[in-house]
Amino acid sequence: MQYSDRASAIAPFYAMAFGEKATALEAAGHSVIRLNIGEPDFGAPPAVQQAMQQAVADNQLPYTGALGDIRLRQAIAGFYRSQHDLAIDPQRIVVTAGASAALLLVCAALVNPGDEVMVGDPSYPCNRQFVTTFGGKVNLVPTTAADRFQLSPALVEQHWQAATRALMIATPSNPTGTAVSAGDLAHMCEFARARGAWRIIDEIYLNLSDSNDGPPQTALSFDNDAIVINSFSKYFGMTGWRLGWMVVPENMVAVIERLAQNLYICPSTPAQLAALACFTPQTLALCEQRRTSLLPRRKIVLDGLADAGLTVPVTPDGAFYVYIDVSQTGMTAMEFCDRLLSEAHVAMTPGNDFGVVGGDQYVRLSYATSEAQLHEGLARIKAFTHKLKQC
């Protein structure tokens, strides 16, 4: 009995593996501080939870159309109108089972064997796995702290290949929380567009950006034909609800619809009905309040890490991650995470999940947890690094 080459080649996602190890420690009676998973502790807004109960009580919950319930697609269009002053035709909005399914559909639609997709290193690993699953090749472009760990117009130009069919950028990014400026992103999109390449822009953290007067511009503001991916997972705190969306060019809708029909029929009906409650002024105000509460959490983390003698080379622009340089400890990222979890019961994720080039040197910390947990986690990290210095 054999598994496919594709399945055999797929790399483990260490964030999950460390989560499982943390669960085993908890089962053995230890208290573990989990700073390894990118999952907000807020949960779904109360109005969404109530809407879910109502949806289940009132409906038989049949399949929706493969592109999603039209009322939700209209509500998402309204979100682009109010947040970005953009008129997006709801027909171009595809509701998906999380950003993950959007990525799956996009790669199924666009990637032929041998096609190349340009992605920055470090970046969210699963997005790349979709490319390779469909036989594509990832052109992983190394970035450094000096680039704020993001692609730039110069890097894109320098690494562009004849086989490059698409550019994939997440801004702000996972694992670094750093963003690309609208000017640079517009530049890179235009460079790719002029060469007939797709622009796949992952905006799952855009609404968790630091800006005080609304989110930064969506890529759709300057590149109407970009494929823009978003999700209910992070800003709306709905990770397990498995709901996201994307905006695709008009002429791509039909192919995406055929793929969605065949690959999973439709996104979850109750989750879609409940998600309609995301776009009320009350829910949006709550989500904004939650976003701003992430800033003091970041400060606790940055201060605590400095106190523990660990360096964060680039301050994030949003999301809820910091990317820590652990090279001064003399350990690889994997050793650091392993020992930190075993000895101090703090779970973090080694950079090897996100990057090839600097993967061994960096560790991702997610501060999407309470201030109390962060204080405790940072105290344990400080005690751990202190002990290391004494050895």
Ligand X SMILES: Cc1ncc(COP(=O)(O)O)c(C=O)c1O
Site for ligand X, rule CB under 6 A:
38, 98-100, 124, 127, 170, 174, 202, 204, 231, 233, 239, 244
Q: State which residue has the least CB distance to ligand X.
A: 98
Pairing mode of beta strands 349-350, 198-202: unpaired
CA 273 to each of CA 43, 56, 241: distance values in angstroms, whole numbers, following the listed order: 17, 9, 11
CA distance 238 to 327: 35
Nearest CB to ligand X, comparing residues 164 and 239 = 239
Nearest CB to ligand X, comparing residues 118 and 344 = 118
Nearest CB to ligand X, comparing residues 77 and 99 = 99
| Minimum CB distance to ligand X, residue 318 (Å) | 12
Nearest CB to ligand X, comparing residues 100 and 283 = 100
Q: 177 near 317, Cβ under 8 Å?
A: yes
Nearest CB to ligand X, comparing residues 256 and 388 = 256
| Minimum CB distance to ligand X, residue 35 (Å) | 14
| Minimum CB distance to ligand X, residue 306 (Å) | 25
Nearest CB to ligand X, comparing residues 204 and 348 = 204
- Extract long-range pairs of 239-243: CB within 8 Å, 24+ residues apart: 239/39, 239/40, 241/44, 241/268, 241/271, 241/274, 241/275, 242/97, 242/98, 242/101, 242/267, 242/268, 242/271, 243/95, 243/96, 243/97, 243/98, 243/267, 243/268, 243/271, 243/272, 243/275
CA distance 214 to 92: 23
| Minimum CB distance to ligand X, residue 210 (Å) | 17
| Minimum CB distance to ligand X, residue 174 (Å) | 3
H-state helical runs in the chain: 5-9, 14-27, 46-58, 70-84, 98-110, 125-133, 153-159, 182-194, 253-264, 269-275, 281-307, 333-339, 371-390
| Minimum CB distance to ligand X, residue 331 (Å) | 25
| Minimum CB distance to ligand X, residue 294 (Å) | 15
Nearest CB to ligand X, comparing residues 349 and 373 = 349
| Minimum CB distance to ligand X, residue 37 (Å) | 8
User: What six digits make up the tokens of 120?
Assistant: 């920055």
**DSSP assignment, residue 145?**
G
Nearest CB to ligand X, comparing residues 127 and 361 = 127
CA distance 22 to 26: 6
| Minimum CB distance to ligand X, residue 232 (Å) | 7
Nearest CB to ligand X, comparing residues 52 and 99 = 99
Judged on CB neighbours under 10 Å (0-12, 13-18, 19+), 305 is buried
CA distance 179 to 149: 9
End-to-end CA distance of the chain: 49
User: What six digits make up the tokens of 290?
Assistant: 């939650």
Phi and psi at 142, nearest 5°, equal: -65, 135
Nearest CB to ligand X, comparing residues 124 and 149 = 124
| Minimum CB distance to ligand X, residue 126 (Å) | 6
In sequence order, what DSSP letters do the residues of 250-292 get, joined into one string? GGGHHHHHHHHHHHHSSS-HHHHHHHGGGGSHHHHHHHHHHHH
